């Protein structure tokens, strides 16, 4: 019975998470910032993180 209760709460938490991970929401994968998102190549990261991560990927001066 206890396990049943646990799975129920897990399902609810997943439902809440899915709301934030929907296709409509565009947020930075690293810091969660929704402003200045770079959607190039499906990265979905903000400009700030793009500067940090972009260099390691191969982008410069963006």
**x/- site string to Zn ion, residues 42 to 61, per CB under 5 A?**
----x--x------------
Q: Which is nearer to Zn ion, 12 or 31 (CB)?
A: 31
Q: Which of 38, 40, 41, 60 is nearest to 49 (CA)?
A: 38
34/22 Cα distance (integer angstroms): 13
Q: Is 37 in the site for Zn ion (CB under 5 A)?
A: no
What does the buried/exposed string (b/e) look like for 22-42 if buried means 16 or more CB atoms within 10 Å of the residue's CB?
A: eeeeebbeeeeeeeebbeeee
Residue 30 within binding range of Zn ion, rule CB under 5 A? yes
Question: Taking the complex as a whole, how short is the minimal distance between the CB of residue 24 and Zn ion, in angstroms?
Answer: 19
Rule CB under 5 A: which residues touch Zn ion? Answer: 28, 30-31, 33, 46, 49
């Amino acid at each position: 019975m206890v396990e049943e209760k646990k799975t129920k709460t897990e399902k609810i938490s997943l439902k809440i998470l899915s709301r934030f991970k929907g296709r409509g929401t565009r947020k930075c994968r690293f810091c969660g910032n929704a402003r200045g998102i770079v959607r190039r190549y499906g990265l979905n990261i903000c400009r700030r993180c793009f500067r940090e991560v972009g260099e390691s990927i191969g982008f410069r001066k963006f």
